[in-house]
Amino acid sequence: MNFTQSRMGRAEQRPRAAFGSLNFNHYGYPLGASVEDPRLLPAFVEDKNGHILPYVTFDGGRLQLSEAALQTLRVIADKRR
């Protein structure tokens, strides 16, 4: 459950929206350090109703993965063998 503000100014519990059978985890984990910043490039999609939906793409940059992230990837790879 997450809390949202009601029209009366009180916090109330509301269930999270369900997206079919997909489950989304809202946690962040340290992945690494940015060695070189990427360029942010603007882009957009125009839907069938003519609405323009802007977003940003990343171009270039470098990320140095942490040892913990590399170890996690190794464990996952070993389980798949």
Between 7-16, 25-34, 50-59, the lowest mean confidence (pLDDT) is in: 7-16
Q: Range of 71's domain?
A: 2-80
- Report the pLDDT averaged over residues 52-68: 94
Q: Model's pTM, two decimal places?
A: 0.47
End-to-end CA distance of the chain: 38
Nearest to 61 by CA among 78, 77, 37, 28: 37
pLDDT of 28 reads 74
Question: Which tokens in the block code for residue 76?
Answer: 């996952």
Give the chain's domain count: 1
Higher pLDDT, 44 or 11: 44
